[in-house]
Amino acid sequence: MNAAFREFGMVGAVDRQTWLFDFMRSLDGSALSERERKACWTWAETWSLCMTSQPSHRAPRYPYEWVRRQVRHPALRGCH
């Protein structure tokens, strides 16, 4: 994956969010269909909950459409 999840250790909320936004950027630039992207996103968000040091019931959720809008927004590109 990336440095945020190095050696499968537990990570904080900021590292999780950074990883998820980076993952969305790679999905958004891929040749996958929208259906395949949503399936990958569902897996990634669920998997990231297992890697966070936050209790999963308290960890923020990142809906696919919302994150995609953030990643595509011209004023937010490159921001985490």
The answer to whether 41 and 19 are in contact (CB under 8 A) is no
Claim: this prediction has a pTM higher than 0.85: no
Per-residue model confidence (pLDDT) at position 15: 85
Q: Read off the pLDDT of residues 55-80 as tens digits, 9 standing for 90 and up.
A: 888 888 999 999 999 988 877 665 55
Percent residues over pLDDT 90 in the chain? 40
Q: Name which residue leads in pLDDT, 10 or 8.
A: 10
Long-range pairs for 51-56 at CB < 8 Å and ≥24 separation?
51/5, 51/8, 51/10, 51/11, 51/16, 52/10, 52/11, 52/12, 52/13, 52/16, 53/10, 53/11, 53/12, 54/12, 54/13, 54/16
